[in-house]
Amino acid sequence: MSDLGTLGQFLAGPAFVPLAGLLGLLVGSFLNVAIGRLPAEFDREYGDGCRAFLAGEEAPPGHRWGWIAVLVSPASHCPRCRAPVRARDNIPVLSWLLLRRRCRDCSAPISWRYPAIELLSAALSAWMAAAVGPGTAGFAALAFAWWLLVMAAIDAETMLLPNQLTHPFLWAGLLLNLRGTFVPLPDAVIGAAAGYLALWTVYRAHKVLTGRDGMGYGDFNLLAALGAWMGWQVLLPVVLVASVAGALAGVVQMILRRRGHEVPIPFGPWLALAGLVAMAHGRALTGALSGFAGAIAGTGG
């Protein structure tokens, strides 16, 4: 047997889950860079675009994709003293603990977000690997989890789900399903359209009834993307799980902050959580929902 075949069997065996978790831990360090840098870059691009539009000019060539460059340059550094992060200080979680949560050069505190994202990335990666298994679908599920983690963290911090992230996420789902990686392509296309229209309809109804915006367009795009990845069948379970989780989080937030229902709550993180649950347990969710609906119909009959 060739070495490549042996490696493939090793990756496809019981080692896949812990290796996926380790890979998620390492990728989590890069996800922190994306979460920290992309919102500011998107704001800059938006401001530059507005100024160019008002001046009757066009954005500079490549400007719209400048956010990709900020992910790799400049190298990781302390946001306070700008000192570059040494390789030994860039080990996920461990370096944060050894440095006692402070920059080696200026002693500025290092946010707990860094190890939290790294650990969460590792846990989500192991979860997706165990639920989906190895192969194309398994590695795609890892990317699915990482992408959702970045968008959820950005939405939690900024209350925004940028099109620069949601649109490629949607197209990635459709492209993966050209060969039915997760669902047949027609189900993915219908899922993308129905996902967008479902939340857009709720938004418009809320706007008419209250005169206020109930959610942002980024939420429509994210649900459309989840439909593109997993098909229209998961949309109702995803919305239900996200709504229940978001409502519970809102109640907890109101109690802790002692404020009323006017406190805004980002919906993106809860859509992301529901999407992850659907990726791992989609069939069980849809089956349970169908069984519940059948029981209600039988009771009514």
Query: Looking at the structure, do residues 279 and 140 belong to the same domain, yes or no?
Result: yes
Task: Tell me, yes or no, whether 125 and 147 share the same domain.
Answer: no
Residues 166 and 237 in one domain: yes
Structure tokens at 15: 């080692």
pLDDT band at residue 82 under the 50/70/90 scheme: confident
Instruction: Check: CB of residue 182 under 8 Å from CB of residue 137.
Output: yes
Whether 29 maps to a domain, the answer reads yes
Same domain, 102 and 187: no
Helix (H, G, I), strand (E, B) or coil at 77: strand
Place of tokens 């992060």: 85
Q: At what angle do helices 235-257 and 185-210 cross, to 10 degrees?
A: 40
Q: Which helix (H) or strand (E) holds 22?
A: helix 16-54
Whether residue 156 sits in one domain with residue 117: no
Report the pLDDT value the prediction gives residue 253, as an integer from 0 to 100.
Answer: 79
Q: Which of 105, 133, 161 is the last residue of a domain?
A: 133
Nearest C-alpha neighbor of 284 from the set 237, 239, 244, 245: 237
288 and 215, same structural domain? yes
Query: Do the domain assignments include residue 299?
Result: no
Instruction: Decide which of 110, 133, 156 is a domain's last residue.
Output: 133
Tally of CA atoms within 13 A in the half-sphere of 79 that contains its CB = 6
pLDDT score, position 290: 64
Instruction: Write down the pLDDT at residue 174.
Output: 98
Q: Is the same domain home to 248 and 262?
A: yes
How do residues 184-239 score in pLDDT, each as one tens digit? 999 999 999 999 999 999 888 877 877 777 677 899 999 999 999 999 999 999 99
State the pLDDT confidence band at 65, using cuts at 50, 70 and 90: low
Are 150 and 192 members of one domain? Answer: yes
> Do 209 and 90 fall within a single domain?
no
pLDDT of residue 231: 96
Residue 200 lies inside a defined structural domain of this protein: yes
pLDDT for position 79: 82
Conformational region of residue 231, where left means phi above 0, alpha means psi within -120 to 50, and beta covers everything else:
left
Q: Which residues lie closer than 8 Å to 300 by C-beta, 6 or more apart?
A: none
Predicted confidence at residue 296, as pLDDT, reads 61
Are residues 124 and 154 both part of a single domain?
Answer: no
Residue 40 pLDDT grade (very low, low, confident, very high; cuts 50, 70, 90): confident
Enter the tokens of residue 172.
């990635």
Average pLDDT over residues 19-32: 95
213 Cβ contact partners less than 8 Å away, ≥ 6 residues apart: 203, 206, 207
Number of structural domains (the chain) is 2
Residue 187 lies in domain: 135-294
Asked if residue 168 is part of any domain, the answer here is yes
How much is the pLDDT for 12?
60
Residue at 153 is within a domain:
yes
Residue 5 lies in a domain: yes
Domain limit, last residue, from 81, 99, 133: 133
Distances (CA, A) of 82 to 74, 104, 105, 168: 10, 12, 9, 32
DSSP state of 84: B
Report the chain's mean pLDDT, rounded to a whole number: 85
Is residue 300 assigned to a domain? no
pLDDT class of 261 with cuts at 50, 70, 90: low
Q: What is 148-188 written as a DSSP string?
A: HHHHHHHHHHHS---HHHHHHHHHHHHHHGGGTSSS-HHHH
pLDDT tens across 93-119, in order?
999 999 989 999 899 999 999 999 999
Distance between CA atoms of 184 and 190, rounded to whole angstroms? 10
Answer whether residue 78 is part of any domain.
yes
- Statement to judge: residues 11 and 126 lie in one domain: yes
For 93-150, the three-class secondary structure string (H helix, E strand, C coil) is CHHHHHCCCECCCCCCECCCHHHHHHHHHHHHHHHHHHHHCCCHHHHHHHHHHHHHHH
Q: What pLDDT does 271 receive?
A: 96
Task: Name the residue among 77, 43, 222 with its Cα closest to residue 149.
Answer: 222
180 and 290 fall within a common domain:
yes
Q: Would you call the peptide bond into 18 cis, given omega within 30 degrees of 0 as the criterion? A: no
Amino acid residing at 38 = L
